[in-house]
Amino acid sequence: MRFSVLILALLAPLAAQAQVSHEQLDRLASEAQTQVVEWRRWFHQNPELGNREFKTAAHIADALTRMGLEPKTGIAHTGVVAIIEGGRPGPMVALRSDIDALPVTEQTGLPFASTVKSEYNGQEVGVMHACGHDNHMAMLLGAAWVLNSVKDDLAGSVMLIFQPAEEGAPVGEEGGAELMLKEGIFAERKPEAVFGIHVGINSPGGLVAARPGPLMAAADRFLLTVKGRQTHGAMPWNGIDPIVIAAQIVLGLQTIGSRQVNVTLAPSIVSVGRISGGIRNNVIPDQVELEGTIRTFDENMRIEIHERIEKTARGIAESAGAEIEFKLDLGYPVVVNDPELYARMMPTLERVSGTVVEVTPQTVAEDFSYYANETPGLFVFLGNGPEDIDPATLPTNHSPLFDMHEPNLEVGVRVFSNLVVDYLQN
């Protein structure tokens, strides 16, 4: 009897520790919605290109400071990081948003549409949050406010990552997730898990979509230069025609995904997006450039395809007496949702979303992959349109008409907040 009383006395302080309820999180997310919309509209109206998000970073830092947090700025040029310290011991998890915009001239007609212009590759361009990063920032700030409101009862801590240059750093510069990690955001305190949300990607309105394992492709760039011998167009036998050879190479590259690698393992894409060569109708040039993209979902296949592109192109060129020069720029790795983390958080996603749509792997790329290579990651899509509209009929990400149905922002805040609390409390 005395032993039982002693055990109950020892357990009483633990039982008295309050836990954050889902109802509490949902109520706070609802209260934050007006401010979240205001943040979203400010970001949308004031977009900035990668590594140049100075006003954006200042606005984020100011919002976090007003919450009582102490943001660190200037990481990877314009990145912002803050930590919410929970009132109870436990692990740390991370939430990430990208903050950069695209060189796209907006055509939405919204009252808060962007009229910003900037310089990109030496040209004056319109600038727009055509990929939805304005929504990502607003949802993460909303989640920061919700989680900071319950921090005394949080069994752990939360790292908030606002990352620049997800769409790519300017030529000759480093940037994005890779640079944030290089500058040590995980060096002192490494989170046990990292979560991210991307709006759009053809997801049903207001619903979460995801899948375990590979979710978004690795994206690499290649440049092939076919070197022939210039001659008169009327006497092609006196030269080596790189245009004909380039055409054969384009066709040959299409056999890689369909005939040279195991198509049952994972999908892959090799696309040539630019062909450049020649200046006159009756002059066969001495060289032609082919530039393209490679999309893969398996790291070993990724390496194999790199090798096969060069081998295929070189074999075709040499058969005609030409030479090639092959350059490869490695892009973002595959975004992989950790299967165990996915299974663990699925009840959370289902409760918040009602239905979780399991999607096929997407051939677009995202540098969230770098974080998920360091610690288990879970990246989900959130439908940007109204729930009664077929997402296939809406303007896609990167369109000058891309927009967000703002009630869905509250869903994103709830997703972020509930993922954190359920992970820490479970």
The two tokens of residue 262 are 């195991």
Diameter over CA atoms, the chain: 107
Q: How far apart are CA 142 and CA 418, in angstroms?
A: 12
Q: How many residues does the chain have?
A: 426
Q: Which residue has the tokens 């359920």?
A: 422
Helix (H) or strand (E) holding 59: helix 54-66
DSSP state of 205: B
Name the region of 165 (left: φ>0; alpha: ψ -120 to 50; beta: rest).
left
The two tokens of residue 193 are 């898990």
The two tokens of residue 113 are 């549409």
User: Catalytic residue among 167, 332, 370, 410, which?
Assistant: 332
User: Catalytic residue among 304, 310, 325, 406, which?
Assistant: 406
Active site residue 406: yes
Are the CB atoms for 199 and 130 separated by under 8 Å? no
State the DSSP string of 33-52: HHHHHHHHHHHHHS---TT-
Q: How far apart are CA 89 and CA 48, in angstroms?
A: 38
The pairing of beta strand 193-199 with beta strand 377-382: parallel
State the DSSP string of 294-352: EEES-HHHHHHHHHHHHHHHHHHHHHTT-EEEEEEE-----EEE-HHHHHHHHHHHHHH
Q: How far apart are CA 241 and CA 233, in angstroms?
A: 9
Active-site residue set: 332, 406
